[in-house]
Amino acid sequence: MSRKPANPWPSLGDGRLIAPSLLACDFARIGQQIDDVVAAGADVLHVDVMDGHFVPNLSMGPGFVKKVRRFTDHVLDVHIMVDDPAYYIERFAEAGADNITFHIEATDRPADLVRRLGELGLGAGITLRPGTPAEQLEPVIGQVDMVLVMTVEPGYGGQEFMEDMLPKIAAIRRRLADHQRLEVDGGINPGTGKLCAEQGADVFVAGENIFNSHDMTTAVGRLRTAVQNI
């Protein structure tokens, strides 16, 4: 299965979205895991790319995205925790990403990268570490499709949600237009997801909470119920 990558956000409507992080899946049976999590109601699939430099951990690369792209036509939301986003945007676009989110700390020309993602026809996301102030996004916040607020230090799944990120979520929401998405990532479960939704988040990445559950349909449903109608 394959299809032309395109900015996914307009076609996903304006409801709250659940984005399971494949970092937490069982890689020995990833095809089944993808089928199961999509059947469970995943709106998009979140892919965490780590280069061992920007963060002290290694995960998947463009080859992984290419294989997953062949397997599913579900939306691939690729979060690149890398030192050289300009280089990797091209590689992940070729591989079939639909949205690419890069870190503001990793580049001194974020506007060029957002423009490039637009030229490629992809969704453009910008993100920031917990210690980076929201003001640093100012030069590009009006141009992106999505802002991702990290609610843990990037690098590992299964960490504890940082509650002191809630005011940052609210501050960034105030700076966004209605069509711009606000994603949260790290330690998200029904309880922490609800706190984020109350501050204006509308895309919820969850790794361990979904893939480590006994029943993914129940896990996705519980998260969706917690973040809806707020």
Query: Is the CB of residue 219 less than 8 Å from the CB of residue 213?
Result: yes
Query: Which of Zn ion, ligand DX5, none interacts with 206 (beta carbon under 5 to 8 A by kind)?
Result: ligand DX5
Catalytic position from the list 43, 48, 77, 98: 48
Active site residue 48: yes
Q: Measured from the CB of residue 47, what is the shortest distance to ligand DX5 in angstroms?
A: 9
CB burial string 166-183: b at 16+ within 10 A, e below: bebbbebbeebeeebbbb
Where does residue 103 rank: exposed (0-12), middle (13-18), buried (19+ CB within 10 A)? buried
Partner interacting with residue 110 (select from ligand DX5, Zn ion, none; CB below 5-8 Å by kind): none
Rounded-to-integer distance, Cα 180 and Cα 125, Å: 10
Q: Which residue number, 78 or 140, has a Cβ lying nearer to ligand DX5?
A: 78
Query: Would you call 36 a catalytic residue per the annotation?
Result: no
Selection from 186, 228, 10 nearest residue 98 by Cα: 10
Site for ligand DX5 in 15-44 (CB under 6 A): 21, 23-24
Q: Which of 95, 155, 184, 196 binds ligand DX5 (CB under 6 A)?
A: 155
Give the span between the Cα atoms of 98 and 182, in whole angstroms. 16
> Does residue 91 bind Zn ion (CB under 5 A)?
no
Task: Provide the 10 A C-beta neighbour count for residue 121.
Answer: 12
Partner touching 158 among ligand DX5, Zn ion, none, CB below 5 to 8 Å by kind: ligand DX5
Does residue 79 touch ligand DX5 according to CB under 6 A? yes
Annotated catalytic residues are: 48, 185
> Which parts of this chain interact with ligand DX5 (CB under 6 A)?
21, 23-24, 46, 48, 79, 152, 154-155, 157-159, 185-188, 205-209
